[in-house]
């Protein structure tokens, strides 16, 4: 038993320590399958089918069964003129009914003409399409969040790599200065400055490691992935490839716009359903019942005990014609019309916003490409300056201050380049979104 438990614990440990290589495509597809937002949107699509069935049910026959049992301890009496019974000038007090009455039966109601039902049936397909578009929009929002956080993790990891490299290089410089100090060729303050710098770099490394953990946790959350999962992001996912510049996208094909237009259709149907209150309604109702009456408990009783059972039925055609509702229907129709006009203003504003997103994304792409080239050149120059300054320092031609400044400049140039790559990648996601092509990241 102990051996089995030990094997089980080892398996758990290996599983926990295993790392998952995560490309952007893998991250996005995982999120679409596991993130709660994506799942809930699909449940809304499923629920829309049930809503449609509910609307359709109003056009189908409504059948119900009913029954009751009534006991009348005291039967109400009625006073009538005795002349009708051949006893003029007298008054007769008579009781009508029985102490026990029981009824059982079936009833049916069928709408023949109801404008609100017809309008609801027409709106049913639009309701399904609305939730399908909403599902697509939710997926795009999930993809955008995952992509942006994915690139943010990479940037933090690159910053840590730079700091680690800088720490190693500074350690080498410290060893050189310490050797010079031991041989009386360097001052104690020079060695202290190097030690302080190493301490600062190490502190920053710890802060970056914490930021990486937080950023990775955020990415896993947006993916719906267990937080304890260990992930590795391949470096090739962050290569800068200039985005293909295509013709301007058709704003009316964007999911956000389509969703608003479908919502407009639903509001139009809502207005028509409200206007249906002006129309008459016609329905058919029918019922079949069986009634038992007598002085005794009627169930299972026979005529010998004074209990008699009989059946009865009725068929009715019901017409309801609205004439005056105190202007209530008119007010509801006008409210529905105002809702439509409000949404139409939102649609106009959304078109402007989507066009703005595209043009801003294009501008950011162009600007970031220029920035990346500039920062790449700055990084090359800073690395070259650092190398020359280090050689000069070793030959006594440069001061320690010059060397530390060169290292700081090199690290800053590398960080600026990394930030420029991140800004480009985020702008790239914005451009893909503005073109309505976020789903392409899943392929």
pLDDT, one tens digit per residue, over 327-364 is 998 999 999 999 999 999 999 999 999 999 889 988 98
* String of DSSP letters for 34-101: H-HHHHHHHHHHHHHHHHHHHHHHTTS-EEEEEEEEEE-SSPPEEEEEGGGGT-TT-EEEEE-S-SEE
Residue 245: per-residue pLDDT: 53
Q: Which residue has the higher pLDDT, 12 or 203?
A: 203
Q: What percent of the chain has pLDDT over 90?
A: 43
Residues 6+ apart with CB under 8 A from 120: 55, 58, 269, 273
> Is 8 contained in some domain?
no
Nearest alpha-carbon partner for 243 in 360, 369, 344: 369
* Cβ pair 430, 353 in contact under 8 A: no
> Is 355 contained in some domain?
yes
* Cβ pair 336, 270 in contact under 8 A: yes
Q: What mean pLDDT comes out for the span 82-89? A: 72
Q: What mean pLDDT comes out for the span 4-33? A: 64
- pLDDT tens digits for range 411-421: 899 889 988 98
Q: What percent of the chain has pLDDT over 70?
A: 94
CATH number at residue 337: 1.20.1600.10
Q: 38-47: string of b/e by CB count within 10 Å (b at 16+)?
A: beebeebbee
* Cβ pair 245, 278 in contact under 8 A: no
> Is 345 contained in some domain?
yes
- pLDDT tens digits for range 303-313: 888 889 999 99
Q: What mean pLDDT comes out for the span 102-110? A: 95
> Is 368 contained in some domain?
yes
Residue 121: per-residue pLDDT: 84
> Is 443 contained in some domain?
no
> Is 300 contained in some domain?
no
275 is in which domain, residue-wise? 115-168+213-279+327-436
Measured CA distances, 438 to 283, 320, 345 (Å) = 51, 53, 26
Q: Is 109 helix (H, G, I), strand (E, B) or coil?
A: strand
Residue 436: per-residue pLDDT: 85
Q: What mean pLDDT comes out for the span 270-284? A: 91
- pLDDT tens digits for range 143-194: 999 999 999 998 888 889 888 988 888 888 888 888 888 888 778 888 888 8
Q: Is the pTM of this model over 0.75?
A: yes
> Is 129 contained in some domain?
yes
Here the tokens at position 439 are 């789903």
Task: Name the DSSP class of 253.
Answer: G
Here the tokens at position 92 are 């007769």
Q: How many domains does the chain have?
A: 1
Q: Is 66 left (phi over 0), alpha (psi -120 to 50) or beta?
A: beta
Residue 12: per-residue pLDDT: 36
> Is 371 contained in some domain?
yes
Nearest alpha-carbon partner for 441 in 146, 171, 162: 146
pLDDT grade, residue 326 (50/70/90)?
confident
């Amino acid at each position: 038993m102990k051996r089995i438990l030990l094997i089980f614990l080892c398996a758990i440990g290996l599983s926990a320590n295993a790392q998952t290589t995560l490309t952007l495509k893998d991250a996005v597809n995982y999120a679409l399958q596991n993130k709660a937002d994506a799942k809930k949107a699909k449940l809304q699509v499923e629920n829309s089918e049930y809503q449609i069935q509910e609307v359709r049910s109003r056009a189908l026959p409504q059948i119900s069964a009913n029954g009751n049992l009534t006991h009348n301890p005291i039967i109400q009496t009625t006073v009538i003129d005795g002349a009708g019974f051949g006893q003029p000038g007298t008054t007769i007090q008579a009781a009508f009914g029985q102490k026990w009455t029981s009824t059982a039966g079936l009833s049916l109601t069928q709408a023949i003409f109801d404008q609100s039902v017809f309008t609801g049936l027409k709106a049913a397909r639009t309701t399904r399409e609305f939730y399908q578009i909403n599902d697509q929009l939710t997926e795009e929002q999930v993809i955008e969040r995952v992509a942006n956080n994915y690139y943010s993790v990479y940037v933090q990891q690159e910053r840590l790599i730079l700091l680690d490299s800088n720490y190693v290089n500074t350690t080498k410089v410290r060893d050189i200065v310490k050797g010079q100090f031991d041989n009386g060729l360097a001052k104690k303050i020079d060695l202290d400055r190097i030690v302080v710098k190493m301490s600062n770099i190490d502190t920053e490394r710890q802060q970056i490691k914490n930021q990486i953990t937080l950023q990775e946790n955020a990415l896993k959350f947006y993916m719906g992935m267990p937080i304890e999962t260990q992930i590795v992001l391949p470096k090739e996912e962050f290569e800068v490839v200039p985005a293909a510049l295509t013709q301007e996208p058709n704003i009316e094909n964007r999911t956000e716009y389509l969703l608003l237009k479908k919502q407009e259709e639903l509001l139009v149907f809502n207005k028509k359903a409200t206007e249906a209150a002006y129309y008459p309604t016609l329905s058919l109702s029918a019922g079949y019942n069986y009634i038992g009456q007598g002085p005794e408990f009627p169930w299972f009783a026979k005529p010998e005990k004074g209990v008699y059972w009989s059946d009865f039925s009725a068929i009715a055609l019901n017409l309801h014609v609205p004439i005056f509702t105190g202007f209530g229907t008119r007010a509801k129709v006008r409210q529905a019309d105002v809702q439509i006009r409000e949404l139409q203003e939102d649609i106009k504003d959304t078109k402007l916003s989507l066009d703005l997103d595209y043009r801003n994304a294009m501008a950011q792409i162009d600007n970031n490409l220029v920035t990346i080239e500039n920062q790449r050149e700055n990084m090359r120059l800073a690395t070259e300056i650092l190398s020359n300054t280090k050689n000069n320092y070793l030959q006594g031609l440069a001061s320690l201050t010059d060397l530390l400044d060169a290292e700081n400049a090199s690290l800053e140039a590398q960080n600026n380049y990394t930030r420029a790559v991140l800004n480009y990648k985020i702008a790239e996601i914005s451009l893909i979104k503005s073109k309505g092509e976020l789903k392409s990241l899943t392929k």
